[in-house]
Structure 1
Amino acid sequence: MLVKWIRCAVSDRRGFERGQRKWAGLLGEPGFRGQGGGWSRNRPGVAHVLGFWESRAFYDSAMARAHERLAAAQSGTFTDMQVKLFDHRFDVKTGFEPRFTDADTVRLAHCRVYPQREEHFALMQERIWNPAMAGSPGMVRGLFGEAPGNEFLILSMWQSAAERGKYQAQGVERLSTRAGTESDVAAITGDIVELEPSWTV
């Protein structure tokens, strides 16, 4: 599965939201699995959109056909857009599906990993971070994605920001020490996204 992460600095919130609903036009595109998103809890005016496709080939085909027409509805509503594509490598918890109806909050952790540390980083994610996150009350589902250039995305969906906050408070520092995160990760950025139900496709 291919994961598309779009981050926008929005200048016209109402216009952007109106345009976002037009992406329902993706329904019926071959290989399209779902899309959702919302507003950053930490950065005013920043929107995140997450799209899911069965493969890069399906995604490229849809972009060539439908993208310009659908994107036109949001033209002029944002000042900056960053798009990143990740290949799904494994689930956090089990059976990831691109559904947004049972979650309120998405946590995105974007990691740049030192060269030759990618496999160790992925192994620690699987053995240490995943079980801790999967066992945390309020965690719905998640995935671990990879992009060329030692980049990874850990996406986790939560019933609420409060539940996600409890997990963070309970032991991120301890888990980080156990996993040797400092030796693997050159940089980590991310955000907490409050989902907008009307953006779900």
Structure 2
Amino acid sequence: MLVKWIRCTVVDRRGFERAQRKWAGLLGEPGFRGQGGGWSRTRPDVAHVFTFWESRPFYDSFMARSHDRLAASQVGTYTRSRAKLFEHRFDVKTGFEPRFTDADVVRVAHSRIHQERVEHYALMQEKVWNPAMAGSPGMLRGLFGEAPGHEFLVLSMWRSAAEHGKYRAERVERLALRTQIEADVAALTGDVVDLETAWTV
């Protein structure tokens, strides 16, 4: 599965939201698996959108055919947009599905890892971070994705921001020490996203 993560700095919030609903046109596209997104909790002008495709060829075909038509109505509503593609490597918890209807927030963490530490980092995600996150009340599902250049995405869906906050307060510092994450990570950014129901496709 392919994951596309888009971040936009929005200047016309109402226009952006109105245009975001038009992405319902993705339904019926070959290989399309789902889309959802919302607003950053820390930066009210930043929108995040997550789109899922069965494979790269399906995605490339969509980009060549239908993308520009669907995107046209959003032009002018944002000043900056960054998009990145990740290949699904493994699930956080089991049976990941790109469903957004039962989640209130998504936590996204984007890391660039030192080349010589990539295998250690991936192993720690699988053996330490995943079980800790999967065992947290309110954590619904998630995935671990990889992009060229030793870049990784951890995407987790939570029933509420409060439950995600509890996990952060109780576990993250301890786990960071245990997994030597500071030695692995060259750069790390992240955000918590309040999901907008109307953006779900």
Common topology (TM > 0.5): yes
Q: Which residue of 1 aligns with 2:192?
A: 192
The code of the aligned residue for 1:44 comes to P
Residue 182 of structure 1, CA deviation: 1.0
Residue 171 of structure 1, CA deviation: 1.6
Cα distance in 1, alignment partners of residues 40 and 136 from structure 2: 22
The code of the aligned residue for 2:145 comes to G
SS at 2:66's partner residue? Answer: helix
Runs of 4 or more consecutive aligned structure 1 residues displaced over 3 Å after TM superposition = none
Residue 157 of structure 1, CA deviation: 0.3
Q: Which residue of 1 aligns with 2:93?
A: 93
Q: Which residue of 2 aligns with 1:144?
A: 144
Deviation per residue, 1:110-164 (Å, 9 max, x gap): 0010012111100000000000000000000000000000100000000000000
Does 2:132 match 1:112? no
Cα distance in 2, alignment partners of residues 91 and 2 from structure 1: 13
SS at 1:116's partner residue? Answer: helix
Unaligned stretches of 5+ residues in structure 1: none
Residue 180 of structure 1, CA deviation: 1.0
Cα distance in 1, alignment partners of residues 14 and 68 from structure 2: 20
Q: Which residue of 1 aligns with 2:15?
A: 15
Aligned length: 201
Cα distance in 1, alignment partners of residues 46 and 76 from structure 2: 15
The code of the aligned residue for 2:147 comes to A
Question: Normalized against structure 2, the TM-score is what?
Answer: 0.99
Deviation per residue, 1:45-100 (Å, 9 max, x gap): 10000000000000000111110100001010000000000000000000000000
Residue 40 of structure 1, CA deviation: 0.3
Unaligned stretches of 5+ residues in structure 2: none
Cα distance in 2, alignment partners of residues 13 and 42 from structure 1: 16
Cα distance in 2, alignment partners of residues 108 and 200 from structure 1: 17
The code of the aligned residue for 1:83 comes to A
Cα distance in 2, alignment partners of residues 6 and 182 from structure 1: 26
SS at 1:82's partner residue? Answer: strand
Q: Which residue of 1 aligns with 2:82?
A: 82
Identity %: 76
Cα distance in 2, alignment partners of residues 68 and 164 from structure 1: 36
Alignment of 1:1-201 (within 5 A): 1-201=1-201
SS at 2:170's partner residue? Answer: helix
